[in-house]
């Protein structure tokens, strides 16, 4: 199971990715709290919490009346991989740079595998949401989401151009997520994926499927996303931890 990460943590990782990848260089001022809140579609308090943690870690320095600046400690910055945004948690949220440029929301009859995973009855309808998100004018991901009607019919297409669907579900619809089951595999682009991502049919892609559950372990959403293999790297950093029964490898969260 993959625990859904707090919004402030996602923003913290996004800003840290900007720093590590030199989108904001040492000593450079980052956007204001208001600008970041608008960009991520969250409150200033959430942004402030993310900035506070990065300040504690030494990545940011806030000067009263001037703003928040990136540390000049390049040794600290370079101690993190430039591919930080390839961590598992960042597959959940592509909010750092990618932007939706195609969104389609419609009601469909749910295929049997979707009905089963969402715990729906026979011949049930669902809301299907298709999106293409771009990175530097190139399509990065093609995503398809399936939601029960009582949730999906509340989603407004226009909102999905402004912020990720997960934020709409959490903040606008007040859904409290508890856990998620995610599978990741390498496969090849079919005709629809190749058209949406502007790649030849049969090109290698990274395919992710995630079933989201609320705090009562009720399935809320199915997320399927195809990532262009030439634009995305998936990296997991592990740490060896000693326990009572010997050592084991665990994924680092930071």
223 falls within a domain:
yes
The residues that bridge with 103 in the sheet, in sequence order, are 131
Q: What is the pLDDT of residue 52?
A: 93
Same domain, 114 and 164: yes
CATH code (residue 110): 3.40.1410.10
CATH code (residue 30): 1.10.10.10
Same domain, 128 and 38: no
Same domain, 27 and 147: no
240 falls within a domain:
no
Q: What is the pLDDT of residue 238?
A: 62
Task: Count Cβ neighbours within 10 Å for each residue of 63-99 and write b for 16 or more, e otherwise.
Answer: eeeeebbbbeeeeebeebeeebbbbbbbbbbbbbbbe
How long a stretch of residues is the chain?
Answer: 254
Same domain, 138 and 57: no
Residue 33: domain span: 7-80
Same domain, 29 and 114: no
CA–CA separation, 240 vs 157, rounded Å? 44
Q: What is the pLDDT of residue 8?
A: 83
pTM score of the predicted model: 0.61
Same domain, 103 and 66: no
Same domain, 200 and 143: yes
Q: What is the pLDDT of residue 19?
A: 85
Q: At what angle do helices 33-40 and 7-20 cross, to 10 degrees?
A: 110
The answer to whether the CB of 32 falls within 8 A of the CB of 15 is no
Domain count along the chain: 2
Structure tokens at 240: 């060896």
Digit-by-digit pLDDT tens for the chain (254 residues) are 334 457 788 788 788 878 877 788 899 999 999 999 988 888 899 999 999 999 998 999 999 889 999 999 888 887 654 344 444 444 444 444 578 899 999 999 999 999 999 999 887 899 999 999 887 788 989 999 999 999 999 999 999 998 888 889 988 999 988 888 888 888 999 999 999 999 999 999 989 899 999 989 999 999 999 988 877 665 555 666 665 556 666 555 44
What contacts 95, CB < 8 A, 6 or more positions away? 10, 11, 14, 40, 163, 164, 167
């Amino acid at each position: 199971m993959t625990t859904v990460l707090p919004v402030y943590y996602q923003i913290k990782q996004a800003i840290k990715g900007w720093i590590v990848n030199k989108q904001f260089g040492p000593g450079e001022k980052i956007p204001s709290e208001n600008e970041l809140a608008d960009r991520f579609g969250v409150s200033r308090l959430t942004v402030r919490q993310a900035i506070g943690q990065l300040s504690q870690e030494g990545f940011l320095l806030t000067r009263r009346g001037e703003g928040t600046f990136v540390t000049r400690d390049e040794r600290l910055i370079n101690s993190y991989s430039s591919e930080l945004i390839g961590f598992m948690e960042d597959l959940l949220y592509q909010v750092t740079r990618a932007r939706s440029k195609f969104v389609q929301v419609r009601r469909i009859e749910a295929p049997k595998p979707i009905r089963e995973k969402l715990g729906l009855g026979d011949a049930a309808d669902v809301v299907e949401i298709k999106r293409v998100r771009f990175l530097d004018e190139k399509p990065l991901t093609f995503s398809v989401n399936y939601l029960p009607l009582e949730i999906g019919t509340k989603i407004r297409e226009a909102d999905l151009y402004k912020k990720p669907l997960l934020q709409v579900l959490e903040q606008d619809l007040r859904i409290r997520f508890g856990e998620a089951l995610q599978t990741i595999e390498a496969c090849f682009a079919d005709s629809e994926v190749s058209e949406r991502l502007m790649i030849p049919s049969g090109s290698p892609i990274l395919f992710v499927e995630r079933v989201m559950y609320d705090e009562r372990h009720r399935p809320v959403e199915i997320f399927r996303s195809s990532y262009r293999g030439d634009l995305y790297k998936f990296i997991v950093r592990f740490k060896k931890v000693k326990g009572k029964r010997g050592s084991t490898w665990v994924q680092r969260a930071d």
